[in-house]
Amino acid sequence: MARSIRTEGLVDAERLRETLHHLREAGEKGITKAQLARKLGGVATRTVDRALGLLEAQGARILRSRAGRPPVLVFQLAKGPAWDEHVTPEARLALRLAALTLGQSGTLLWQEKLEALERLASAHMSTRDRALFDTLQQAVRVQGGVEDPIEGPEVLEPILRALEADKALELDYQAPGRSAGKVRTVAPHALTHDLYSGGAFLLVWDFARRKPLHLRLARIGKAKVVALPTPLPKEAPAMLARAATYQVGGWTSEDLPFEVVVRIDGAHWVQALKEAPPALPDFEVRIAPGADTLEARFKATHPAGASRWILQFGEAAEVLAPEWLRDDLRKRLEAALRAYR
């Protein structure tokens, strides 16, 4: 909720906004009382004093210093009042980065929503800050990503309505490798976005299969809100929570999580994982002082996601546990080696 501007009958609200605007546009250079009075239409300096006092009484922090010859009192805005809706260039850049990242990660679903927020944020920037933001964003690059179909409102809006109203969905879903879609009745649990696999997913309870499924949004052709065909079984909430918590790369399962232990060699990998540890479930890294090797641990419920993360390290990674995952990766690597002979 927007906070109201208190004027105390001393200065009207629009003049307070103008005073704040001119303080902000002055930037680090600052502005004198006489300059403020002129910019406010030639008002008396008493009016400027009242405006500054009201701004400070409502949370603004205005710095005062002396500059020039002879020295003149200069005002600099350090912080806006409580009702200020100004967006800083740093906050605006963070929003731009979020939109770029999500746009590169396999779906424009979130990017379109963020672009609407970006337009709103831009309307609340000063001219000076907008120019600074334009300079900053030219230095921003987001590389990589995948191309994926765009999910339209005819899919997203029914999903959001079903989540809000605790309803079921009839989805026309085309599974990988299938030539046509198949109608499924599901209870939606959560929308998830996985940067590792590059895509947006819908975690659901499938009534026919009686288990959680992770459905890629790009493969949903149609979505219709319907009543729940039956109440969810008592074990469903725990299974859905487990599937949501331990998904890796979009792969998940209703099974209990297993712990993966992998040794990774190489000083560059040690440094990289120390500086930017991956957001894997229950991820831990153990590095001996001065060593060029580390032991990483995390949990998953599906082997495909765990394997994909491990294989990116090539010959530098060795699975230590569980034994069945070690055997599975060994077979896959042997098959890959045969392709190069």
What pLDDT is attached to residue 218? 84
In the chain, where do the E strands start and end? 31-32, 61-67, 72-79, 168-173, 182-194, 199-206, 211-216, 220-226, 258-265, 284-287, 293-300, 317-321
Say if CB 100 and CB 140 are below 8 A apart. Answer: yes
Report which of residues 155 and 3 the model is more confident about: 155
CA–CA separation, 179 and 101 (whole Å)? 31
Residues paired with 295 in a beta bridge = 263, 286
Report which of residues 1 and 18 the model is more confident about: 18
pLDDT class of 298 with cuts at 50, 70, 90: very high
Amino acid residing at 98: A
| CATH fold match for the domains 13-79 and 153-245 | no
Q: Which CATH code, of 2.40.128, 3.30.70, 1.10.287, 3.40.91, is assigned to 258-339?
A: 3.30.70
Q: Give the model confidence (pLDDT) of 271-283 as tens digits.
A: 999 888 888 999 9
Above 60 in pLDDT, residue 152?
no
**And the tokens for 231?**
């109440």
CA–CA separation, 93 and 245 (whole Å)? 30
| Inter-CA distances, 196 with 104, 115, 175, Å | 11, 22, 20
CATH class of segment(s) 153-245: mainly beta
CA–CA separation, 171 and 181 (whole Å)? 9
Q: Give the model confidence (pLDDT) of 2-51 as tens digits.
A: 467 888 888 888 999 999 999 988 888 899 999 999 999 999 999 999 99
pTM: 0.61
Above 80 in pLDDT, residue 92?
no
Handedness of CA 127, 129, 132, 134 (dihedral sign): negative
CA–CA separation, 101 and 195 (whole Å)? 8
- CATH hierarchy code of domain 13-79: 1.10.10.10
Say if CB 293 and CB 270 are below 8 A apart. Answer: yes
- Residue ranges per domain, the chain? 13-79, 89-137, 153-245, 258-339
